[in-house]
Structure 1
Amino acid sequence: MIRRRLLAIVLLLAALTGCAGSGTAATDPSGATSEAGTDPDSTGQPDADATGPAEESGSGDASGEQPAASTEDPHSLTGPSTAAQVPATEPVTADPDQQLPVTVTGEDGQEVTIEDTSRMLALDLYGTLAEITVGLGLGEDLVGRTVSNTQDVLADLPVVTENGHELNVEAILALEPTFVLMDTTMGPPEVPDQLRASGVPVLVVSSDRGVDLITEQIQLVAEALGVPAAGDLLTDRFEGDLEAAHTYVDALTEGWDPLRMAFLYVRSTGSVFFVMGEGSGADDLIEHVGGLDTASDAGLADVTPATAEAVIALDPELIITMTGGLDSTGGVQGLLDRPGIAQTTVGETERIVDMADGAVLSFGPSYPAVLTALADAIYQP
């Protein structure tokens, strides 16, 4: 599986999208809109329960029953659908056996000794590091969050980002952290050195994201936090959930040729309109949900402007997009009115599937639940 680096892509989208001012509603580069200090998961997602893998899944999928193969040809379905909200990640233990101090060398070559995580922050664009921390049973040690952290358990924590995706060093230091875990997906780039100059231990980890990297990242975070046994538990649960999710998707797609899908990033009614291609992470998602990524098939890499000509050439049968982005462009009709969309198969069938901005490309322990919720919206809307 190819390693995915999404940072440059997302920062490009963020720069083109624009951000709200500090203390007001802010849009993070993955598209999630939030009010500072409140629950940012205001995506309008329905409260429907996904019928995913077994109940013991850490993502909270309920039924434990695998679906029968679809009796209706997915190529014949019409109309839009919205993926169900993904449940919050459950801790593998309420009281992990933590062994500190731990000395780790970060991605930036800096050796860090972690002695105390009782007041920590886990900061990255996707919310992955905080989600892993919660899954390891150390969520109560977190004292702040970014706008990407959409779990209810973190909603009351103060926000330490401004302008959507920029870290506010003063806000971080005001929380008197004993440790900061972060990657490089949020700027400014001098933040780690500024925090270290104030006496705060900072570990910078990899910004790579992808299905094949989730287990590695869980293990890395667990080692740094001194809870390797909890890391093993979370890894085992994630891998079991992922296997169950693959089985679930396979059951839904059995007997049918893959749907031709495209992931489109759209924001507002202006020029922020992109096809996310090979290496963007969207190709991983489409592959694992049983589809054929038309962008990768056409040789498009990373992010490509969604010109009318490009969209028409892809001719997807189904479009995946973010809920916040879809809302911002005028809903389903607004997307259909975009240049080129009307001339595609989707222009005739209106097969547009949207999913919460903070979930659909999160690549954390909840990824199996993302797959099953998205598969339900695609194959049994």
Structure 2
Amino acid sequence: MSAIVKLRPGLTHPSTFMQLAAAALVFALLTANTAAWAEESRIVALGGSITEILYALGAQDRIVGVDSTSLAPPSALQEKPSVGYVRAISAEGVLSLKPTLVLAIEGAGPPAALELIRAAGAPLEIVPDAPTPEGIRRKIEILGETVGAKDAAAKLNREVGAGFAALEGLRARITKPVRALFVLSFANGRTLVGGRNTSAASMLALAGAVNAAEDVDGYKPMTDEAIASAAPDFVLMMKNGDHHVDAETVFASPAFALTPAARTRALLALDGLFLLGFGPRTPDAARELIEAFYPSLATAAP
């Protein structure tokens, strides 16, 4: 007497159940393996914004090494070994940490060091670093997917998006944009500025300012005559290490002495990662610039 199998509507053969069960089992195993890898991974983060985002996503316990630009949160460099400056990485230092994944910001290097890391068998991913609101959101999304923290990444992106939306409202109220000049370094009579196609230019645009070095492409020296002719209302610098120079020194130089900025000693120095890192705090950095450039907006801002 043969057995009778009753099939549910839509299923035409008992083997269908077996196929579905096998597919479900494979999916479950893959999901479990992915979760286990995410929990046990040993990550070396090369890039301050990568480290900052990983901490914001709650993945800090998986980080075994960082680069010297990982200044946020401050505990990162205190807790984790440093493998050098992001553009001058030590391949040996990275490999000594036995990483299961190296996350390198676009522009990290030198290329020879990255090739050594790859050749040694350490998985290495390059994270894009477009200095735009969309670029920040994409960076957060990629890192969230990589470390298995999609929900946390989505939440962080909502917060960042709200910050950028508030900036749009502030910029809409600017009637006369200031001319601002970002000075990367100021030494030995040589002023290196941030022209177009730089993260500094992108930040000035977010803050509703005109880049006084818009005729310069990239980070390049600018002559005293060109600086005087550019007539910046405001000078912006990083306050980290050798990048920062006090206002007295800057405005005593012939290049800046006759600029509108010199008349009011309008110089602002901010942390480099906060200002140019294009991480989750970028809306806060741009808002701080807006409040410095346009005090009337600062007092009226909610």
Superposition TM-score, scaled by structure 1 size: 0.62
Shift of 1:310: 1.0
Superposed counterparts of 1:157-168, under 5 Å:
157-162=79-84, 165-168=87-90
Q: Is the 8 A contact 1:307 1:339 kept in 2?
A: no
1:357 aligned partner: 272
Residues 137/344 of structure 1: CA separation in 2 closer, same or farther (3 Å cut): same
Q: After superposition, give the CA deviation of every residue in 1:195-226 in whole Å (9 maximum; x if it has no partner).
A: 23333222123244333311111112222223
Residues 179/116 of structure 1: CA separation in 2 closer, same or farther (3 Å cut): farther
Q: Is the 8 A contact 2:91 2:114 kept in 1?
A: no
2:195 aligned partner: 277
Q: Is the 8 A contact 1:145 1:157 kept in 2?
A: no
Q: Is the 8 A contact 1:182 1:203 kept in 2?
A: yes
Q: Is the 8 A contact 2:133 2:164 kept in 1?
A: no
1:367 aligned partner: 282
Shift of 1:228: 2.5
Superposed counterparts of 1:1-381, under 5 Å:
118-124=41-47, 127-150=48-71, 151-162=73-84, 165-247=87-169, 249-250=170-171, 254=173, 256-267=175-186, 269-296=187-214, 299-324=215-240, 328-329=244-245, 331-380=246-295
What amino acid is aligned across from residue 289 of structure 2 in structure 1? L
User: What is the total number of aligned residue pairs between the two structures?
Assistant: 264
Shift of 1:141: 1.2
Query: Distance in 2 between the 1:159 and 1:338 partners?
Result: 40
Q: Is the 8 A contact 2:104 2:124 kept in 1?
A: yes
Superposition TM-score, scaled by structure 2 size: 0.77
* Structure 1 gaps, min length 5: 1-98, 103-113
Query: Distance in 2 between the 1:301 and 1:307 partners?
Result: 14
Q: Is the 8 A contact 2:237 2:244 kept in 1?
A: no
Q: After superposition, give the CA deviation of every residue in 1:329-373 in whole Å (9 maximum; x if it has no partner).
A: 4x1111112331012112222111211122111101111111122
Please identify which structure carries the higher helix content: 2
SS at match of 1:148: coil
2:7 aligned partner: none
What amino acid is aligned across from residue 44 of structure 2 in structure 1? L
Q: Is the 8 A contact 2:46 2:86 kept in 1?
A: no
Q: Is the 8 A contact 2:238 2:270 kept in 1?
A: yes
Q: Is the 8 A contact 2:68 2:77 kept in 1?
A: no
Structural RMSD (CA): 2.7
Larger Rg: 2
Shift of 1:272: 4.7
Query: Distance in 2 between the 1:232 and 1:183 partners?
Result: 20
Query: Distance in 1 between the 2:122 and 2:286 partners?
Result: 37
Q: After superposition, give the CA deviation of every residue in 1:172-211 in whole Å (9 maximum; x if it has no partner).
A: 2222222111134232212333223333222123244333
What amino acid is aligned across from residue 179 of structure 2 in structure 1? R
* Structure 2 gaps, min length 5: 1-30
After TM superposition, what 4+ stretches of structure 1 lie above 6 angstroms from structure 2?
A: none
Shift of 1:304: 3.1
Q: RCO higher in 1 or 2 (8 Å CA, sep ≥ 6)?
A: 1
What amino acid is aligned across from residue 372 of structure 1 in structure 2? R
